[in-house]
Structure 1
């Protein structure tokens, strides 16, 4: 049988406790949500919802095609202008997802005979970008600028070199040493590609992102990718950087050229969320405050929680099976939390992953910590 080998894979996953299942949620879920990436609590904000509805009424349900054919609207262009301005970059290009944006940035900036250096803790989309790039890839130790230097020293050309990294890592929520990474890259004339999916809306002045906070926004050797599906409560992704880099992506990035453009409703929602964040920059600081409070209460209760640099709070579990059961017990008690386990975690340590949303109340924080403690395996 052609796909009979899949049955063996199922048995292996089952034995290791790694089976994943889809669980549709109702629109009015009674669960306290600490599992989503809605860091600023904007997904259901009336202005964001109306922005999506208004865009759909104006432009229709879909963008109708590739952005180079019919898929680019005035709304896409406006979102790109305001996103670039907010984050401090010359230009931006919107994609149908953050995953597509990362694939585009890495593959388009790593041509034949180039060197791509990648942090071992990077998101799967950056890893896949490295695999698809035509250059040579080297994986280096986590958040280690000296390891980046050693890798760049090995490059003999003639192609360019680039280092790719998350700004905030999605498993533990720790931040990369961006200024030190930039210094290492500049010593060897390498470009820097940063995935700020978990930094936009949380870090930097008013949520302008980790590169902005590190003084790298607008630099001619820095390219940043973001997602619109986390702090901005919508869907899609974008690449930010020098105009010549964005023009290069328009002409070479396969996930831009051959993909249908972002749906107008998603673009409208993201634009409304971005404008709301401009008016209410305190949301970014509140997300960080909630993360710090969750960490403090969890560690005081005896949990092994990683100190958050942004809005992700990671709580270590005893085993993959223990993590799955812990998350299930939390759910049964009315709390939704993320569950990260191999192969999603590079260090093999299973975790509960909590989202510190800016709209969480003190009572909700207290409830979350209580449930996690009562259900601990």
Structure 2
């Protein structure tokens, strides 16, 4: 068993705010819109203030930016929105944590938001729904996550960790185990208490793809499902026999409350979830890309386009993406690729 040792010190209080806001579900950042504190809001970590700070110096941006989608991407979107609004006080960024699928179905593909955050790629049926409403999604990778399995701090029997096979056994809808002893006879004969994201979450979808297999029997449904990651942490924290899974950022915010479980992908080596292990490709199969999707037509509006470019120009910042939020930043090559895609979409929208 392991506790991630990378601590972020001064950024802790900010990240606690972000996670708390995510649990609230809807976060209109009006308070941040008027924030003119230059102490932290304009610090991008890598020395870049993004295109929102340079290319628009001679113009005033104004208007609303509406974002729905993934609770996993929510804290990263919030961090970028805070900084953008500190430079453009007449822009209001409103973010809803609805789950990837909920955001696509109820907000983005119906034309109510300009962006949808997602912790997995858009599905074919979602693309069809968008198309039927004349919404053309532009996929932009914004970071890499290490999906994290957590257990209670009093769990002292798992030892080195869990295998992918054991995770499959725990969460599969086919003959799911009822007790820990059903997984390993040496473990306690006590009921499993399971916590995880709902089926509206991209984390749920990715877990099925990576652990259960899309052609398998599916995800068991006798568990406490929620769209709020803080609820998963609280559930696991409250029971010795609990287990759950969620995005790394929410675990990293609660390292004293729960334990992260190292995972073996069948080679006998148990790998802990960490930013470095995800970046190096060691944490398989649970490291995954994170996205935001922009509606191409909305990019014709200056404040929408400038916010999107600002996000990508700061997506390589270790200070923001890794230290403050808890994800792996884009590489410079990835940043160039995403910016080229974004610039092309903006040009086509105008």
The TM-score by the shorter chain falls in which range?
under 0.3
Q: Give me the TM-score of the superposition, normalised by structure 2.
A: 0.25
Q: Give me the TM-score of the superposition, normalised by structure 1.
A: 0.24
